[in-house]
Structure formats: C-alpha cells, structure tokens
C-alpha cells in the first residue's frame, strides 16, 4: 500500500467518523423527539419537521451556518435548527419570541382577535406582558397593569369572546 492509498483511507474514515461524532454531541441538547434528525439532509429534515407539526418561520445565515426557526403550534414551542453544509448539525429549543411574528409585540386584546386561534394569540399576549392568572376548560383569565382579560374559546381552539375589565 503506498502513501497516497493510506492518506485516502484515512480521509475517507475521518469523513465518516467526524460527522457522526458531531451529531452525537449536538443530539445531547436536542429534544428527544427530534434526535433522529441530527445529520439528516436539510430538505429531508424540513419534510420531517412539517410532518411532526412544525411550521417554518424564518432563517438567518452566518458564515457557513444557517439558523432556521420552527414553531410547533400545538406544543407552543420554538426550535432552532443549525444547518451546516446542507445537513442538520443541531436542533435546540429556543425562546418562543424567535418564532413569533414581528407584529406580535403590538398585539392587544380587542374584538379583532375573535376568530383567531388561542394557541397563536396566547404566546403573543404573553410576549406583550399579559400573564395567565388561571385557566379552565375553554376559558383563560389573564392580567396586566391593572387590567384583566377573559378569553373564551371553543373546542377547536378558536376565540369566541374577549372581555377586558379594569382590576382597580
């Protein structure tokens, strides 16, 4: 075996070992239901995330990495997917604000929210400073700055009534 063959064998071995080591390390911080996506091709990962209830929100690029944010409405959770050279390198839970729309901080209780889905509106209201005071079946009570808000929603999660009251 000549030097060129040995070098080629080492490079081939390292190209198999190194990505799997990185995948194992990055998988340790990955939500358990997503660990199988570490190392997967980006386009295949997108399909898998969609099948698992995630919606793509936005992507930022820095150097060789792309950071994509995905929102899971039913779980009201946000993940950051780091893609390097076309493969998923890391998937981590991140602050919900990374997945919310830019208009979210301006959201205020009003009749305009009637008809919207509670699992979309609630994180926006929380981001705007509203705190859940109590929650019962189809009713959430929130408060903020001497105001109270009762949100009634149906079994499909659609808001059917909003009532805002002064708590003074």
User: For 118-127, how does the pLDDT look when each residue is reduced to its tens digit (9 = 90+)?
Assistant: 988 888 888 6
Say if residue 75's pLDDT is above 90: no
Percent of the chain with pLDDT over 90: 46
C-alpha angle 14-18-22 in degrees, rounded to nearest 5: 180
Of residues 22 and 37, which shows the higher confidence score?
37
Of residues 91 and 16, which shows the higher confidence score?
91
Say if residue 70's pLDDT is above 60: yes
Q: How many CB atoms lie within 10 A of CB 162?
A: 18
State the pLDDT confidence band at 107, using cuts at 50, 70 and 90. low
What is the residue-wise DSSP string for 33-71? GGGGGTT-BHHHHHHHHHHTTEEEEEEEEETTEEEEEEE
Q: What's the rounded Cα separation, in Å, for the pair 153 and 155?
A: 7
Mean pLDDT of 59-86: 90
The confidence score (pLDDT) of residue 109 equals 67
The confidence score (pLDDT) of residue 33 equals 93
User: For 18-28, how does the pLDDT look when each residue is reduced to its tens digit (9 = 90+)?
Assistant: 444 444 444 56
User: For 147-167, how does the pLDDT look when each residue is reduced to its tens digit (9 = 90+)?
Assistant: 899 999 999 999 999 998 888
- Domains in the chain: ranges and CATH: 3-98 (3.10.450), 104-166 (no CATH)
The confidence score (pLDDT) of residue 65 equals 96
Q: What's the rounded Cα separation, in Å, for the pair 25 and 120?
A: 33
The confidence score (pLDDT) of residue 81 equals 97
Say if residue 47's pLDDT is above 90: yes
The confidence score (pLDDT) of residue 1 equals 54
The confidence score (pLDDT) of residue 15 equals 41
State the pLDDT confidence band at 54, using cuts at 50, 70 and 90. very high
DSSP-derived secondary structure letter, 108: -
Q: Which two tokens stand for residue 88?
A: 């998923």
- Bridge partners of 76, per DSSP, are none
């Amino acid at each position: 075996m000549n030097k060129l063959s040995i070098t080629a064998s080492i490079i081939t071995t390292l190209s198999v070992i190194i990505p799997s080591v990185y995948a194992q390390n990055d998988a340790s911080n990955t939500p358990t239901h997503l660990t199988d996506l570490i190392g997967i091709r980006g386009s295949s990962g997108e399909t898998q995330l969609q099948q698992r209830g995630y919606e793509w929100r936005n992507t930022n690029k820095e150097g060789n990495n792309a950071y994509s944010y995905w929102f899971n409405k039913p779980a009201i959770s946000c993940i950051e997917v780091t893609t390097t050279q076309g493969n998923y390198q890391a998937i981590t839970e991140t602050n919900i604000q990374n997945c919310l729309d830019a208009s979210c901080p301006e959201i205020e209780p009003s009749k305009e929210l009637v008809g919207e889905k509670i699992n979309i509106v609630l994180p926006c209201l929380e981001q705007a400073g509203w705190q859940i005071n109590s929650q019962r079946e189809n009713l959430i009570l929130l408060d903020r700055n001497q105001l109270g808000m009762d949100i009634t929603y149906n079994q499909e999660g659609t808001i059917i009534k909003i009532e805002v009251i002064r708590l003074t």
